[in-house]
């Protein structure tokens, strides 16, 4: 299977707010397989669909516990206690941002077969889930920076890559639509 192209900042696909998946079909399974392959190939621990230009509410994650798939995920509960952890992102190469996030969360989502699950996550797993869910809302870790640091981070990223600056986002939304 050909790997999808990983989008890097400033590609506008990274700012897309996703749509819910409606059909749990072969297209979705193919998308999930391609995303997992891209995540592993790129050395990441998570990958959201927007990072490969697909505007649906899907992400994959593996923080060392095996592959997890999240479709139409929602955070149902979160702890008031937060911890700050430096986060990196495949779409923001070379950038690390300290982000304070709830230490534990409870998530409701569907797996790739359309089976609903609810699970509590803590530590790195909780941080990774929240990071990927931010992607599904068009939010990036640089958005947590103060304005001065944001300016320098985006300047650094833009100087590394001009991909997507002069193009409109061609988001593929075939998953979740009837053929």
Hey, what are 83's tokens?
A: 């911890």
- Asked about 132 being catalytic, the answer comes back as yes
Give yes or no for a contact between 107 and 75, defined as CB atoms under 8 angstroms apart. yes
3-state secondary structure of 116: strand
- Give whole-number Cα distances, 65 to 1, 77, 98, 160, 168, in Å: 24, 22, 24, 33, 37
Question: Which entry of 2, 5, 132, 170 is annotated as an active-site residue?
Answer: 132
Distance CA 17, CA 3 (A): 23
β-partners of residue 122 are 104
Distance CA 175, CA 49 (A): 11
- Give whole-number Cα distances, 134 to 3, 45, 101, 104, in Å: 23, 15, 11, 16
Known catalytic residues?
A: 132
């Amino acid at each position: 299977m050909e790997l999808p192209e990983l989008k890097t900042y400033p590609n506008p696909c990274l700012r897309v707010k996703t749509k819910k998946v409606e059909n749990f079909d072969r297209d979705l399974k193919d998308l999930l397989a391609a995303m997992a392959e891209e995540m592993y190939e790129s050395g990441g621990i998570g990958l959201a669909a927007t990072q490969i230009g697909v505007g649906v509410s899907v992400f994959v994650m593996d923080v060392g516990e095996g592959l997890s798939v999240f479709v139409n995920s929602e955070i149902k509960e979160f702890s008031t206690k937060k911890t700050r952890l430096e986060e990196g992102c495949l779409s923001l190469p070379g950038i690390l941002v300290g982000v304070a996030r709830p230490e534990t969360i409870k998530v409701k989502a569907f797996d790739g077969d359309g089976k609903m699950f609810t699970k509590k996550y803590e530590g790195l797993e909780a941080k990774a889930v929240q990071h990927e869910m931010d992607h599904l809302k068009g939010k990036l870790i640089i958005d947590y920076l103060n304005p001065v640091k944001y300016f320098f981070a985006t300047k650094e990223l833009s100087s590394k890559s001009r991909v997507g600056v002069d193009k409109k986002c061609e988001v593929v939304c075939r998953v979740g639509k009837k053929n």
